[in-house]
């Protein structure tokens, strides 16, 4: 598809690396002239030279946009070189981890200057040039504007303001024919993202936790996928699109924001189900044989765990709540079925059985290991295997075992009912 970008001048802030650099490469392939506004002189110059060798026109302007007067200079130098600006891509910014508790009001204001104010300044100073052609302003935001991340007050509020400015500018600039939209990326593999991953004790584990929640291909979005959308939005192909927030793989398999109070309520329902199941099970066992009742409850627990492993959102949480009910009669029923019919060996068998119950020590550790290696949902395969054995025990495992000994035959176990 010809995006009709040939010879159009596209100013890109933060254009030396990551998403910005890829946008520059993409629009250059379409025949546009990328102007790379970035403080990283080495990376910016390298990208400019590479594009020039490929036959494209390009220019790198090395300056720090966080310094208030520099946006005006960036616009002036672009116009001096090419006499026009047809599209402005506001992309520069950094997750500087300026949070609420471990920062300061001064640090917060500095973060807004790094991540927000130059968006306004670049648009303001470029506006007169943008009026001269069917132009576009494209703002690169972030999902943190909507989901938060914690410890990023400066960056998150800047991205939220960028989305608000996008809509406001779109309305204000309608009479001028200038379109304004925003791209809202989620998880994109860039040098800055790699730098953020490196702050974790196990970066690879954190990466795997992240990609496991991304529904499309279980992988990170690439900078090329963002740049393709950017090139499309600044092209004439979207001449009737403005004021839009375009999300790129925003949906994730997660249930963020569970408060301690809400978690406590889920636990309360879990324990309530356990209590109801214990009392109801005792009464029902007068009507339904213990092995059959154990079979029903084990099947219920198995189905609930399958829901936990295979679904997302609130479904697995409520499935865990219901497991409390199904788990309620298992220990007393298994214990009773295991020692029934042992005769003189009952006390010894009971002692051995009690000493053999070590799942509470082993299963959490094994689940933790699997969860650390992948994510929490696959870890539930461990209790799933346990419930499979409980199901087998309810079907056949409780039946008596006959042991031949010198002096006679000893029957151990219980009679099938």
Q: What is the pLDDT of residues 37-92, one digit of tens each?
A: 999 999 999 999 999 999 999 999 999 999 877 999 999 999 999 999 999 999 99
pLDDT at 255: 47
pLDDT at 32 over 50: yes
Torsion of CA 263, 267, 272, 274, to 10 degrees: 150
- Mean pLDDT over 312-320 rounds to 82
Residue with more model confidence, 404 or 106: 106
pLDDT at 128: 96
pLDDT at 392 over 70: yes
- Mean pLDDT over 226-230 rounds to 95
- How far is residue 365's CA from residue 417's CA, in Å, rounded to a whole number? 37
Domains in the chain: boundaries: 9-248, 260-412
| Residue 124 near residue 173, CB atoms below 8 Å | no
Three-state DSSP state, 200: coil
pLDDT at 387: 85
pLDDT at 192: 77
- Mean pLDDT over 1-9 rounds to 92
* For the chain, counts of helices (H) and of strands (E): 18, 9
pLDDT at 274 over 90: no
Q: Across the chain, what does the average pLDDT equal?
A: 86
Query: Which residue matches tokens 């250059």?
Result: 28
Tokens of 175: 């009479």
pLDDT at 367 over 80: yes
Q: Which of 221, 212, 206 is nearest to 149 (CA)?
A: 206
Cα 253 to chain centroid distance, Å, stands at 7
pLDDT at 339 over 80: no
CATH (one of 3.40.50.720, 3.10.180.10, 3.40.50.620, 3.40.50.920) for 9-248: 3.40.50.720
CATH (one of 3.40.50.1000, 3.40.630.30, 1.20.1250.20, 3.50.50.60) for 260-412: 1.20.1250.20
- Mean pLDDT over 380-404 rounds to 79
pLDDT at 143: 87
- How far is residue 113's CA from residue 93's CA, in Å, rounded to a whole number? 9
Dihedral sign from CA coordinates of 260, 262, 263, 265: positive
pLDDT at 415: 46
pLDDT at 330 over 90: no
The count of residues in the chain is 417
Share of the chain above pLDDT 90, in %: 44
Most confident of 53-62, 142-151, 305-314: 53-62
Dihedral sign from CA coordinates of 363, 369, 370, 372: positive
pLDDT at 250 over 70: no
pLDDT at 234 over 50: yes
pLDDT at 203: 82
Please provide the distance, in angstroms rounded to a whole number, between the alpha carbons at the two ends of the chain.
74
Alpha helices for 173-314 (secondary structure H): 191-197, 203-211, 223-234, 260-284, 290-310
- Mean pLDDT over 225-250 rounds to 92
pLDDT at 413 over 60: no
- Mean pLDDT over 148-169 rounds to 93
The answer to whether the 9-248 and 260-412 domains have the same CATH topology is no
pLDDT at 254: 46
pLDDT at 208 over 90: no
Q: Among 177-181, 197-201, 271-275, 337-341, whose mean pLDDT is lowest?
A: 337-341
Banded pLDDT at 403 (limits 50, 70, 90): low
Most confident of 79-93, 146-160, 182-196: 79-93
C-alpha distances out from residue 49 to 15, 30, 31, 417, Å: 14, 18, 16, 84
Q: In the sheet where 9-13 sits, what is the strand order?
A: 59-61, 33-37, 9-13, 87-90, 136-140, 179-185, 245-248
Q: Among 32-36, 90-94, 284-288, 315-319, whose mean pLDDT is lowest?
A: 284-288
């Amino acid at each position: 598809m010809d995006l009709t970008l040939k010879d159009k001048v596209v100013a890109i802030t933060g254009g030396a690396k990551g998403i910005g650099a890829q946008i520059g490469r993409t629009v250059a392939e379409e025949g546009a002239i990328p102007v790379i506004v970035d403080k990283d002189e080495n990376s910016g110059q390298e990208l400019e030279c590479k594009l020039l060798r490929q036959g494209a026109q390009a220019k790198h302007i090395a300056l720090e946009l966080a310094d208030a007067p520099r946006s005006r200079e960036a616009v002036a130098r672009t116009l001096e070189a090419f006499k026009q600006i047809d599209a402005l891509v506001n992309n520069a910014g950094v997750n500087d981890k300026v949070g609420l508790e471990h920062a300061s009001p001064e640090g917060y204001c500095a973060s807004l200057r790094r991540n927000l104010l130059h968006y306004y300044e670049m648009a303001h100073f470029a506006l007169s040039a943008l009026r001269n052609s069917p132009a576009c302003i494209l703002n690169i935001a972030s999902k943190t504007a909507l989901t938060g991340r914690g410890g990023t007050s400066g960056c998150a509020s800047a991205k939220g303001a960028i989305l608000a400015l996008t809509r406001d500018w779109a309305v204000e600039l309608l009479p001028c024919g200038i379109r304004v939209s925003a791209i809202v990326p989620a998880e994109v593999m860039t040098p800055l993202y790699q730098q953020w991953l490196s702050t974790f004790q196990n970066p690879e584990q954190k990466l795997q936790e992240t990609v496991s929640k991304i529904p499309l291909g279980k992988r990170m979005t690439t900078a090329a996928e963002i740049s393709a959308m950017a090139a499309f939005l600044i092209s004439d192909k979207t001449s009737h699109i403005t004021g839009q927030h375009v999300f790129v793989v925003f949906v994730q398999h997660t249930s963020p924001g569970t408060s301690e109070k809400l978690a406590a309520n889920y636990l309360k329902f879990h324990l309530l189900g356990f209590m109801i199941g214990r009392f109801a099970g005792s009464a029902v066992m007068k009507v339904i044989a213990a092995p059959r009742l154990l079979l029903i409850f084990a099947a219920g627990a198995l189905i609930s765990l399958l829901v936990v492993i295979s679904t997302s959102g609130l479904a697995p949480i409520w499935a865990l709540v219901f497991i409390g009910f199904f788990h309620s009669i298992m220990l007393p029923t298994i214990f009773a079925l295991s020692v029934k019919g042992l005769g003189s060996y009952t006390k010894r068998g009971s002692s051995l059985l009690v000493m053999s119950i070590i799942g509470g020590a082993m299963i959490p550790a094994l689940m933790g290991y699997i969860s650390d290696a992948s994510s929490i949902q696959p870890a539930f395969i461990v209790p799933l295997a346990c419930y499979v054995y409980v199901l087998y025990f309810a079907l056949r495992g409780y039946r008596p075992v006959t042991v031949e000994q010198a002096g006679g035959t000893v029957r151990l176990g219980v009679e099938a009912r």
